[in-house]
Structure 1
């Protein structure tokens, strides 16, 4: 039996060795972290399919971390199953079943499903909230000379919002929008006393990953907001804040991510001992 006794200990061990793992085993590592609440009931074939590898690679992965095979590795996830598992997983299973069954729903029912998914995502964010990482993220922003923010496509709206919010502080804030295809030009001035807030989820935006690499090369600090500390974005970050959104009908929500970003801004404002503008008292602004 491996010396790891809990899922957290196992994931910490995996994180320490992640960069030295072959690509296939890195895929398995990322999958285990993202699906930790489901591993206890999944077959080896499901883990392999989710990781994009052959089942034999899952066995190699288990043995790499001191287990006799997949079943023994899986037993750690089973023994760590607690009441902290949130409604998100069962909800997702129900939605998939509804789609598979071809049930007819009214517009109001669709709306309620999305509301339930968002609520479940927030429940999971609260249940897995890491105070130490969040405080470290705020400290990075406090010390930053410049704050750059990048996100593309689905998460671009979140980047735009957090830039708007951070501009209520005295910090110099830059939205890496890529307008005119100028990601390289907009990120090239980032320096060692700056922070890049990079927001991305699978399939990770190549523009966001590029900006993260440039920031890392320029000795800037990267604050990643993503679904996994083991993924391509989290692996280069100084601090990673993990978010697992609720989803409905194959559409992943944004509720938890925007909540986390709003919390970052307000926490930074308090840390800087600022009086946040009451925008309702100033014409021309929206909340």
Structure 2
């Protein structure tokens, strides 16, 4: 079997999704976003999760040139990566589960966090990381945007990244919309957007404005298909699987930290000097708390 067949199918689905009938669009988006689950499930289970009929999956398989659902699923099944390897030095997690009811629950969430981080780093190939860093460094101006909960990720990336990349800007800076600060964004600029489900309408509006202006776009999300007619130049997929109601940000955080490492490293001596200047300014302005040695009054 062609080892790249799974990736080829996913790329074709992304390219053709807007031209497919609605039911097949639903199926295509699910396959692109949930390749592991699709590889494990039966046709009935997959159809139920997608909200389509089993016949729709057969139609999609035939559309893609396969003779059956099983033939379409096989590349995804063959490429499944084990989520947990007992020999990988994670015995300490197993021992957590021996600490009673709370310990068992704690072990579950710890293993989930580890899994999220590992999956997200697997998604971030060296080629994709290199491309993202090059786009940011070569841009006239680089903008990072997010809203609501994901704004914290954008804020952190900007807070650290601007020391290595002076032309990195956070939008929105205040309580407005990102598009309010994109009036001058053009072809020589780059927009790095972060959005997770439920996807932000403001971020989607910023992505659409960027493409209308010819701005190159990097998207960090769980899906490349976040809304109709959203096209990006570079998609960085992250895992968001969580045991509670909200998305887990651990995977996105390690991806951003990896990009920051490369930005600082490639910034060389100039970046190091800027970081030193920032640190000196903060220390001189009393930004950091320091313990004071009490004065000893001698008689």
Tell me, yes or no, whether TM beats 0.5. Answer: yes
Say which of 229, 232, 238 aligns to 1:237.
232
Which deviates further from its counterpart, 256-265 or 19-28?
19-28
Report deviation, 1:256.
Answer: 1.4
Q: Does 1:32 align with 2:3?
A: no
Q: Mapping of 1:99-248 within 5 angstroms?
A: 105-106=101-102, 110-177=105-172, 179-232=174-227, 235-248=230-243
Report deviation, 1:215.
Answer: 0.5
**Aligned mates of 1:25, 1:178 — CA distance in 2:** 40
3-state DSSP of counterpart to 1:196:
strand
Q: Contact (CA 8 Å) 2:164, 2:275: kept in 1 or not? A: no
Aligned match of 2:9:
10
Unpaired runs of 5+ residues, structure 2, are: 86-99, 290-299
Report deviation, 1:111.
Answer: 4.6
3-state DSSP of counterpart to 1:223:
strand
Aligned match of 2:82:
85
Q: RMSD across aligned C-alpha pairs, in angstroms?
A: 2.9
Q: Deviation digits for residues 172-217 of structure 1, max 9, x if unmatched?
A: 2322237444433122321111111101122211111110000111
3-state DSSP of counterpart to 1:272:
helix
**Aligned mates of 1:234, 1:109 — CA distance in 2:** 44
Q: Contact (CA 8 Å) 2:120, 2:252: kept in 1 or not? A: no
When normalised by structure 1's length, the TM-score is 0.81
**Aligned mates of 2:118, 2:20 — CA distance in 1:** 33
Which deviates further from its counterpart, 29-38 or 17-26?
17-26
- Number of residue pairs aligned between Structure 1 and Structure 2: 267
Report deviation, 1:233.
Answer: 8.6
Q: Deviation digits for residues 115-158 of structure 1, max 9, x if unmatched?
A: 32211111212333321111111110011111211112221110
**Aligned mates of 1:177, 1:49 — CA distance in 2:** 39
3-state DSSP of counterpart to 1:224:
strand
Q: Contact (CA 8 Å) 1:198, 1:223: kept in 2 or not? A: yes
Larger Rg: 2
Aligned match of 1:277:
275
Aligned match of 1:60:
59
Aligned match of 1:101:
none
Q: Deviation digits for residues 197-246 of structure 1, max 9, x if unmatched?
A: 10112221111111000011111111100112344399511111111134
Relative to structure 1, the CA distance from residue 280 to residue 191 in structure 2 (aligned partners, 3 Å threshold; closer, same or farther) is closer
Aligned match of 1:51:
50
When normalised by structure 2's length, the TM-score is 0.78
3-state DSSP of counterpart to 2:275:
coil
Unpaired runs of 5+ residues, structure 1, are: 89-103
**Aligned mates of 1:263, 1:204 — CA distance in 2:** 24
3-state DSSP of counterpart to 1:204:
coil
